[in-house]
Homo-oligomer: A and B are copies of this chain.
Amino acid sequence: MTWNTTNFDELPVYEKLVKLARNPFDLTALRAISPERINGYKASAAGFDLLFATQRLDDAVINGLQQLADQSDAVAQFLDMKRGAVMNRIDGHASEERQVLHTACRDIFIESPHHAEATGEAKQQLEKLNVFLAELDRGALVNEQGENFTDYVNIGIGGSDLGPRAIYHALSAYSLQNRRVHFISNVDPDDAAAVLKKLDLSRTLVGVVSKSGSTLETLTNEEIVRVAYAEAGLNPGNHFIAITGHSSPMDNPERYLRSFYMYDYIGGRYSVTSMVGAVMLGFALGYDAFIEILRGANDMDRAAEERDIRRNPALLLALLGIWNHNFLGHETVAVLPYSQALLRFPAHLQQCDMESNGKSVTRNGEKVSGLTGPIVWGEPGTNGQHAFYQLLHQGTTVVPAEFIGFRQSQFEEDLLLKGTTSQDKLVANLLAQALALATGKNDDNPNRFFSGNRPSTVLLSDKLTPYAMGGLLALYEAKIAFQGFIWNINSFDQEGVQLGKVLANRFLGHLNVLRQAGDIDREQHPESWAMLEAAGFFQED
């Protein structure tokens, strides 16, 4: 390791920032948000502008945040990550001990990629995908009746669902003709039933996504869909595609039309730009569009190598988050896209951010002394303005906001009404919210008083294209990694999901015992047995 793992609150600049946080910049003061401030507090890369004049900080804080990045070796760690350092580990304790190489999927445009082997593997899989998609396009690969495939069902959960689903929704305006994608994720049997109800299975491909080939929900749903194929007299082997680890139980040509590989060095929540997203998005949007996503992501990955936070929006966003969370004490962050296509993007970020940084142990194996990852939530604007924004403006809890917007629409089908287009109205509302939250408003009626000083960031790009989506995705991936580096936590494992699995199996054990009319494990685990009983779950069978 070329970087240090000093704890966050032991970095030299920490106390300085604590002091500065006692008197944060007052956004409500007359002319506080001057044109100079607005134009000066801006960072740009990969087609995105990040405006942060409506944050509660001044030049002294910005300098402090730059020092925080420098002293924690944030960029050096990011580079080491790209080069294949084993970032996924806890010193002195059993841990995953893995490299973190999702950026390698995007280094395909670089002559000397940071990690040649991983980028080589990514290229191999892309080539395999290109061949597969070309076969679909020219009608070489068709169904039993010689018809083209029109639908694709993605079966996966967590990272194999949320990210791919968010990106598909974001870009479905660019779908190829007669290509639709559906998602089954939840072990809730109604999830599969509702999707199956509306499909012509004979013209459908089914992508099953699981690195280990053993995820409970995914295998259960795969089995449900296989049964539906059998009942329809169709051979799943002509329809099912495996996206899985090399030589996992799912890597089996007898059961799958094709296998595409995912690797241990890419965690689920960072896997959208690997084959996890590629096969589905390639089907829906075409191979070239997927490459554009990678290109946007790669451009943002490169900007994330900049030491100067004014030239590195991901690092700046990470530091603004730390300022609001650790120094100003705000527990949550709202991600508010002014784009209906980004409806599911906050749910992806919830996973990517909260599963990465919802940790209580440093990389040295010590209990952290302060706050780590915030609660991330959000819904699109302007919808949210007619809903929870009431609390953002006048509630007793301050919620830092990250607005995301685009200057042009995707479909470019708009209407001029009262002198402005809908897209004008959309962006005007976005900017108005940032300003209103910051400045507040005095009023004699206490119920119409706005305290202001509620911080936000505005992130803008020209249009939500595949390229921009790649950039936005990589921006947040890098933001999350930077925050983990600075907090000195391991953002790449997820031990917190294990206990629930163990207990769920115990409950299922009870049900099995009960159905065999036994009563053995009741005494061993009285709480879980009693919960099943109180839940009225025993009367069902």
CB contacts under 8 Å to B, within A425-483, are 425-429, 431-436, 439-441, 445-451, 458, 460
Residues of B within 8 A of A425 (CB): 187, 216, 220, 504, 508
Whether, in the assembled complex, A4 has its beta carbon less than 8 Å from a beta carbon of chain B, the answer is no
CB contacts under 8 Å to B, within A370-396, are 370-377, 379-383, 385-396
The distance from the CB of A200 to the nearest CB of chain B, in whole angstroms, is 16
Residues of B within 8 A of A426 (CB): 186-189
Whether, in the assembled complex, A527 has its beta carbon less than 8 Å from a beta carbon of chain B, the answer is yes
Whether, in the assembled complex, A540 has its beta carbon less than 8 Å from a beta carbon of chain B, the answer is yes
Whether, in the assembled complex, A227 has its beta carbon less than 8 Å from a beta carbon of chain B, the answer is yes
A191-B405 Cα distance, complex, nearest whole Å: 14
Residues of B within 8 A of A379 (CB): 347, 350
Q: How many monomers of this protein are in the complex?
A: 2
Whether, in the assembled complex, A116 has its beta carbon less than 8 Å from a beta carbon of chain B, the answer is no
Residues of B within 8 A of A421 (CB): 189
Choose the segment among A30-38, A240-248, A280-288 that binds chain B (4+ C-beta atoms closer than 8 Å).
A30-38
Whether, in the assembled complex, A420 has its beta carbon less than 8 Å from a beta carbon of chain B, the answer is yes
CB contacts under 8 Å to B, within A15-69, are 31, 33-35, 38-39, 42, 49, 51, 53
A439-B531 Cα distance, complex, nearest whole Å: 13
Residues of B within 8 A of A417 (CB): 219-220, 223
Query: CB distance B450 to A188 under 8 Å?
Result: no
Choose the segment among A146-154, A251-259, A492-500 that binds chain B (4+ C-beta atoms closer than 8 Å).
A492-500
User: Provided the pairs A386-B159, A431-B507 are in contact, do residues A51 and B350 lie with their beta carbons within 8 angstroms?
Assistant: no
CB contacts under 8 Å to B, within A120-174, are 157-159, 161-162, 172-173
Residues of B within 8 A of A385 (CB): 158, 497, 500
Whether, in the assembled complex, A233 has its beta carbon less than 8 Å from a beta carbon of chain B, the answer is no
Choose the segment among A75-83, A292-300, A304-312, A354-362 that binds chain B (4+ C-beta atoms closer than 8 Å).
A354-362
Query: CB distance B495 to A447 under 8 Å?
Result: yes
A220-B414 Cα distance, complex, nearest whole Å: 10
User: Provided the pairs A360-B394, A399-B375, A527-B34 are in contact, do residues A447 and B189 lie with their beta carbons within 8 angstroms?
Assistant: no
Interface centre among A371, A379, A432, A436 (most CB of B within 10 A): A432
Choose the segment among A100-108, A271-279, A313-321, A337-345 that binds chain B (4+ C-beta atoms closer than 8 Å).
A337-345
Whether, in the assembled complex, A422 has its beta carbon less than 8 Å from a beta carbon of chain B, the answer is yes
Q: Mark A400-429, 1 if CB is under 8 A from B, else 0.
A: 000001011111011101011111111111
User: Provided the pairs A94-B445, A419-B515, A425-B216 are in contact, do residues A51 and B535 lie with their beta carbons within 8 angstroms?
Assistant: yes
Interface centre among A361, A366, A496 (most CB of B within 10 A): A496
A499-B364 Cα distance, complex, nearest whole Å: 48
Whether, in the assembled complex, A235 has its beta carbon less than 8 Å from a beta carbon of chain B, the answer is no
Name the CB-closest residue of B to A490. Answer: B447
Whether, in the assembled complex, A110 has its beta carbon less than 8 Å from a beta carbon of chain B, the answer is no
Interface centre among A399, A434, A503 (most CB of B within 10 A): A503
Query: CB distance A429 to B536 under 8 Å?
Result: no
Query: CB distance A93 to B446 under 8 Å?
Result: yes
The distance from the CB of A335 to the nearest CB of chain B, in whole angstroms, is 11
Query: CB distance A528 to B431 under 8 Å?
Result: yes
Query: CB distance A217 to B382 under 8 Å?
Result: yes
Whether, in the assembled complex, A185 has its beta carbon less than 8 Å from a beta carbon of chain B, the answer is yes
A284-B382 Cα distance, complex, nearest whole Å: 26
User: Provided the pairs A436-B503, A496-B390, A511-B428 are in contact, do residues A224 and B375 lie with their beta carbons within 8 angstroms?
Assistant: no
Name the CB-closest residue of B to A337. Answer: B188
Whether, in the assembled complex, A1 has its beta carbon less than 8 Å from a beta carbon of chain B, the answer is no
Query: CB distance B435 to A220 under 8 Å?
Result: no
The distance from the CB of A235 to the nearest CB of chain B, in whole angstroms, is 19
Q: Which of B35, B424, B526 contacts A511 (CB 8 A)?
A: B424
Residues of B within 8 A of A159 (CB): 386
A249-B399 Cα distance, complex, nearest whole Å: 37
User: Provided the pairs A189-B409, A340-B186, A415-B224 are in contact, do residues A446 and B367 lie with their beta carbons within 8 angstroms?
Assistant: yes
Query: CB distance B431 to A531 under 8 Å?
Result: yes
Query: CB distance A359 to B35 under 8 Å?
Result: no
Residues of B within 8 A of A519 (CB): none
The distance from the CB of A186 to the nearest CB of chain B, in whole angstroms, is 4
Whether, in the assembled complex, A199 has its beta carbon less than 8 Å from a beta carbon of chain B, the answer is no
Q: Which of B217, B423, B435, B449 contacts A189 (CB 8 A)?
A: B423
The distance from the CB of A190 to the nearest CB of chain B, in whole angstroms, is 5
Extra 9 A-B pairs, beta carbons < 8 Å, given A93-B445, A354-B391: A190-B411, A191-B340, A351-B387, A351-B388, A366-B446, A428-B505, A429-B504, A429-B507, A432-B503
Counting from the closest, the 5 A-B pairs by CB-CB distance are A358-B391, A158-B386, A351-B387, A35-B530, A358-B395
26 of the cross-chain contacts (CB-CB < 8 Å) are A35-B526, A35-B527, A53-B534, A90-B445, A90-B446, A162-B383, A172-B194, A173-B190, A173-B193, A186-B382, A188-B380, A189-B409, A223-B415, A350-B379, A354-B390, A357-B391, A361-B394, A361-B446, A389-B497, A419-B515, A424-B508, A427-B507, A431-B528, A432-B502, A433-B503, A450-B496
